[in-house]
Structure 1
Amino acid sequence: MMLTRYNPWQELNALQRQMNGLFESSQPTEKAPVAELQETEQAFMLKLELPGVEAKDVDIQVAEKAVSISAERKSGTKTETDGKVRSEFYYGKFQRVIPLPARIQNTDVKAEYKDGILNLTLPKAEAEKNKVVKVNLEQPAA
């Protein structure tokens, strides 16, 4: 049987690694913008919070049953004079795809961006009319 010497610092090192892990996991991760979807008889009204994003950095793509918004929040220049700077703001690219509960007319979408809020008006597509089709029954020749 081999004897090993007890090292009390080993347990403290493990504790320090666990504590460092707690602080590292509290750093911000990629964030998708929060959204609010309202429905009227004529359209869906979609609002997204995009604070700090310039309108030229927003890309909106609309399909019949979903809206995709991607944007980039660019960081300003930082100067470090007295030690480290801590920032919890998220800078970088993000994307959000929002499924819609019904089809829309994606060619008539209106967008407005003011004070960091993106407002989309998504007009509903006209309901397809119930089409009745007459089917002729052919009898095979005898």
Structure 2
Amino acid sequence: MLPDRPANSWTQGLDFPSQLFATGSNDYELYEEDDEFVLSVEMPGFDPEEITVTWDDSILDVAAEREDETRGRRKTYHRRFRFPKSVEDEDITATYNNGILQVTLPVVTGTPTTGKEIPIQS
């Protein structure tokens, strides 16, 4: 007889965070408007001084770490975003409010999109 629980139910009895096995997390929104990229990342529970945002060679790196001493656990976040257009790296701004990190990346006007289109075969 097959189990009547979801396929990943074997993790329920173990002391693993469910996010460890989750796929397709939608904790961010990225869009382009008015010649700038806007990235919003949900990062509740972190203080601004625990978050680092770095830019290097068209890659934005967002990382955060905090120690939860009451539970004896460490909470971490790390994600990288690659951008297809040149960005004015001196004008990148970041704000953190109510658990949402928002990064604005102005696009260098007149620069072409990098990369190439991949043909789809049928």
Aligned AA (2:66)? R
Separation of aligned partners in 2, 1:40 and 1:121: 10
For the aligned residue pairs, the C-alpha RMSD in angstroms reads 3.1
For the structure 1 residues 20 and 96, does the alpha-carbon distance in structure 2 shift closer, same or farther, using more than 3 Å as the test? closer
Task: Decide whether the 8 Å contact of 2:86 with 2:111 is kept in 1.
Answer: no
Higher strand share: 2
Aligned AA (1:116)? G
Name the SS for the 1:74 alignment partner: strand
Aligned AA (2:39)? L
For the structure 1 residues 104 and 30, does the alpha-carbon distance in structure 2 shift closer, same or farther, using more than 3 Å as the test? farther
Number of positions where the alignment pairs a residue of Structure 1 with one of Structure 2: 100
- Name the counterpart of 1:115: 98
After TM superposition, list the pairs within 5 Å mapping 1:1-142 onto structure 2.
23-24=13-14, 27-28=16-17, 29=20, 34-78=27-71, 91-128=74-111
Rg larger in structure: 1
Unaligned stretches of 5+ in structure 2?
1-8, 113-122
- Name the counterpart of 1:81: none
User: Which moves more between the two structures, 27-36 or 113-122?
Assistant: 27-36
| TM-score, normalised via structure 1 length | 0.58
Separation of aligned partners in 2, 1:93 and 1:50: 10
Aligned AA (1:69)? V
Name the SS for the 2:34 alignment partner: coil
